[in-house]
Amino acid sequence: MSRYLAAVIVLLCIFWGLRSKVNVYEYFLQGAKAGVIALWQILPAILGIFIAISLVRNSLVWGYIINKLAYLMNPLGIPQDTAALLLVRPFSGSASLAVLTQIFIAEGPDSQSGLIASTFMASTETVFYVVMTYLTSVQIKRSRHILPVTIVIQLIGLICTTFLWHLLA
């Protein structure tokens, strides 16, 4: 079903445009131009985050932090291999998908870790990435309370997910 969603939405939009007698193609181009400009503006922020992530992920410190974190999360019943997911999730959608895939390969999607990791992925966002690119796009430098709130909700998300699957399984 959801595979057809995007196509159906575009179709409806174009029909709606024709019905309302607006100049569909002209407005499309106008909007497309704004989209290109917006992308151009967030590009440096994306480059910055990619470089930092690549630098950290290749270091020994990274493995050390993940081990420590897994150890801390153990008493809460959170599977060890989701520690890497918790750290990567805020920064990069593709990197966290890679971690999730590794969990699927190692333990299978229907294992306890697989279920917890996929639910966590499905119910959280790449928060740092979103905050950074969105604020950069309108030239705001201070993020005040946004980051602490996003960190807390990611943690709560992981704890709730774990709790829920312990109840269900």
Partner 1 sequence: MSIVWCFLMILGLLSAIIERKPERLLQAISEGGKDTIEYLFTLLGIMAFWSGIYNVVEKTGVISSLSQKIARPVFGRLFRKRLRKNEEEAVFASIVANLLGLGNAATVWGLKAMQELKRESGKEGYLPPNIATFLILLCSGLTIFPTSIINLRAAYGSENAAVIWLPALIVSGICTVVALILDRIWGEK
User: What is the identity of the amino acid at 34?
Assistant: A
Q: How far is the CB of 36 from partner 1 (least distance, A)?
A: 5
Q: In this structure, what token pair is assigned to residue 105?
A: 């390969």
Q: How far is the CB of 98 from partner 1 (least distance, A)?
A: 11
Considering only residues 119 to 138 of the shown chain, the ones binding partner 1 according to CB under 8 A are 119-125, 127-128, 130-135, 137-138
Contact flag: residue 102 with partner 1 (CB under 8 A): no
Contact flag: residue 157 with partner 1 (CB under 8 A): yes
The correct pick among 81, 84, 100, 113 for binding partner 1 (CB under 8 A) is 100
Gap between the Cα atoms of 146 and 71, Å rounded: 28
Q: How far is the CB of 72 from partner 1 (least distance, A)?
A: 18
Spell out the residues 6+ positions from residue 158 whose beta carbon is closer than 8 angstroms to its own. Answer: 78, 82, 86, 116, 120
Q: How far is the CB of 10 from partner 1 (least distance, A)?
A: 6
Q: What is the 3-state secondary structure of 74-129? A: HHHCCCCCHHHHHHHCCCCHHHHHHHHHHHHHHHCCCCHHHHHHHHHHHHCCCHHH
Considering only residues 38 to 77 of the shown chain, the ones binding partner 1 according to CB under 8 A are 38-39, 42-43, 46-56, 58-62
Contact flag: residue 106 with partner 1 (CB under 8 A): no
